[in-house]
């Protein structure tokens, strides 16, 4: 036998052994039942098992697996649900097919009226990633007016636990892209929307708040802050969208995963589509406002280091686009990696990297769909700074959340901010 034939036979034998080993692993794989909890203790044993036909390994991103193994994260499996989207949004989105285009010079979408501007994403389109982000920016299912009367922003030290739990109110009014009221535009068409945020407690933060006007062009947001200690309004710089929210780990740009005008980022790249486990139809009672102890108030959390893991929610398989978003040079991050739902505009997870390109923050959003008003509601979110072992969790009092109630645009103004602050 020649040396070359011997080497060829050895190579074939090794290949057959590898295939046989792989088939043996697959043959031993099981379909996991609903309620199985993925954790560091069982991950290696169940990675090749499946849930709704997907292997557990394929449902975890690199950073998700890292969190499970190193940071105590646990994922209870839940059956995935189809969401019957608001018919008004579905019709408005479908009407955009073939009529919209990205106007880079004007930083807007030409031909857009309401809904998601690009209903059909072609992954081979060089603008596919940018279109996905525009869909999110303009097409979120949030209602024409919404108000979160109470949410708590937990500041958590990974070694010591919760050290602050301020309570705030957040309201948003849509000026363009409206689905109710007979017209998609209110005003002269220059504004995208208005936002009010102010803190209700503790006493040293009470009344502190911001009023934001967002535009439908390249112009940065106008943001004013009310300082109760001096009873004055201060206008913030045009770069406020990149600033932290109070003393939290969350930037203004991190709200709902991506809170910038898409043209403010330098470029986007679609890395592909995949399936992940996400709390897309999770529990609605992550914060018990009547609780007295931390365990009663925040049953979704485990009372052990690092204290920020929302281990008691429900995680289901969801298909996502993976989009890399490159920031401007003045941004604290060098890039974000966004895991965005393919069925509707929603970010489930995001990763943020520092200016050296090193992994910095992991972010997650928990969702409940409100079929009555057709809006996606954030029940909880986490922004985890792994470089300083600290996190900010926002938990929502969903019982007081209101959508599409009777309101006018002038209810959202500097005067409204001042009144709330006093």
Domains, the chain: 3-76 (no CATH), 128-421 (2.50.20.10)
Angle in degrees, CA 416, 417, 418, rounded to 5? 90
pTM of the model: 0.92
If residue 337 lies in a helix (H) or strand (E), which one and from where to where?
strand 335-341
Q: Kindly tell me if the per-residue pLDDT of 108 is higher than 70.
A: yes
3-state helix vs strand vs coil in the chain, percent to 5: 20, 35, 45
Structure tokens at 278: 């996400």
pLDDT at 103 over 90: yes
pLDDT reported for residue 421: 79
| Predicted confidence (pLDDT) at residue 51 exceeds the cutoff of 70 | yes
**Rounded Cα distance, 118 and 111, in Å:** 11
Q: Strand 161-164 to strand 167-174: parallel, antiparallel, or no bridges (unpaired)?
A: unpaired
| pLDDT tens digit sequence for 26-45 | 456 899 999 999 999 999 99
Lowest mean pLDDT among 22-36, 155-169, 313-327: 22-36
Work out the pLDDT band at 376, boundaries 50, 70, 90.
very high
Instruction: Provide the pLDDT for residue 229.
Output: 86
The token pair at 18 is 């590898």
How many Cβ atoms from other residues are within 10 Å of residue 418's Cβ? 19
DSSP state of 249: S
> What is the model's pLDDT at position 10?
53
Which residues have C-beta within 8 Å of that of residue 272, sequence separation ≥ 6? Answer: 123, 321, 322
Beta bridge partners of 335: 326, 353
Radius of gyration in angstroms for the set of CA atoms belonging to the chain, rounded to a whole number: 23
Q: How confident is the model at residue 9 (pLDDT cuts 50, 70, 90)?
A: low
165-180 tens-digit pLDDT = 999 999 999 999 999 9
Averaged pLDDT score across all residues of the chain: 92
Q: Which pLDDT score, from 0 to 100, does residue 11 have?
A: 52
Query: What's the distance, Cα to Cα, between the start and end of the chain in Å?
Result: 93
Overall average pLDDT of the 345-360 stretch = 98
* Distance in angstroms (rounded) separating the CA atoms of residues 152 and 5: 70
Q: Is the pLDDT of residue 345 over 50?
A: yes
Quote the pLDDT of residue 4. 44
**Phi, psi (deg, nearest 5) at residue 90:** -60, -45
Contacts of 249 (CB under 8 A, 6+ apart): 155, 361, 383, 384, 385, 390, 391, 392
d(CA 378, CA 369) in angstroms, rounded, equals 9
Name the pairing type of β-strands 232-235 and 222-227: antiparallel
Adjacent-strand bridge partners of 340: 321, 347
Mean per-residue pLDDT for 324-344?
97
Question: 239: pLDDT confidence band, cut at 50, 70 and 90?
Answer: confident
Q: Quick check: 325 pLDDT over 80? A: yes
């Amino acid at each position: 036998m020649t040396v070359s034939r011997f080497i060829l036979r050895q190579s074939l034998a090794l290949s057959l052994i590898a295939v046989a080993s792989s088939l043996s692993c697959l043959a031993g794989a099981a379909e996991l039942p609903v309620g199985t909890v993925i954790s560091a203790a069982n991950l290696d044993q169940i990675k090749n098992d499946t849930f709704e036909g997907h292997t557990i390994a394929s449902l975890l991103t690199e950073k998700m697996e890292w969190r499970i193994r190193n940071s105590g994260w646990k994922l209870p499996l839940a059956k995935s649900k189809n969401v019957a989207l608001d018919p008004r949004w579905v019709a408005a989105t479908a009407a955009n097919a073939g009529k919209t285009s990205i106007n880079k010079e004007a930083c807007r979408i030409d031909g857009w009226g309401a809904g998601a501007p690009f209903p059909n994403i072609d992954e081979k389109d060089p603008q596919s990633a940018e279109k996905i982000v525009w869909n999110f920016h303009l097409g979120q299912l949030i209602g024409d007016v919404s108000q979160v009367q109470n949410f708590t922003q937990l500041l958590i030290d990974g070694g010591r636990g919760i050290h602050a739990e301020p309570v705030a109110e957040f309201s948003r009014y849509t000026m363009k892209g409206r689905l109710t009221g007979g017209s998609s535009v209110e005003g002269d068409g220059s504004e995208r929307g208005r936002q009010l945020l102010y803190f209700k407690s503790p006493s040293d933060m009470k009344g502190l708040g911001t009023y934001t006007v967002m535009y439908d062009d390249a112009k940065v947001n106008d943001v004013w802050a009310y300082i109760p200690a001096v009873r004055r309004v201060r206008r913030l710089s045009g770069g406020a969208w990149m600033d932290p929210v109070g003393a939290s780990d969350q930037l203004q740009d991190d709200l709902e995963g991506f809170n910038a005008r898409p043209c403010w980022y330098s470029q986007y790249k679609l890395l592909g589509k995949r399936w992940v486990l996400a709390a897309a139809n999770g529990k609605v009672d992550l914060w018990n406002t009547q609780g007295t102890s931390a365990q009663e108030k925040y049953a979704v959390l485990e009372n052990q280091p690092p204290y920020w893991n929302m281990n008691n929610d429900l995680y289901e398989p969801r298909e996502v686009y993976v989009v890399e978003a490159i920031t401007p040079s003045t941004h604290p991050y060098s890039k974000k990696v966004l895991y965005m739902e393919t069925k509707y505009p929603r970010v489930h997870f995001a990763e943020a990297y520092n200016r050296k390109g090193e992994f910095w923050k992991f972010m997650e959003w928990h969702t409940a769909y409100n079929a009555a008003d057709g809006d996606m509601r954030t029940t909880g979110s986490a922004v985890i700074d792994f470089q300083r072992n600290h996190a900010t969790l926002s938990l929502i009092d969903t019982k007081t959340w209101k959508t599409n109630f009777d309101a006018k645009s002038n209810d959202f103004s500097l005067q409204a901010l001042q009144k709330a602050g006093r």
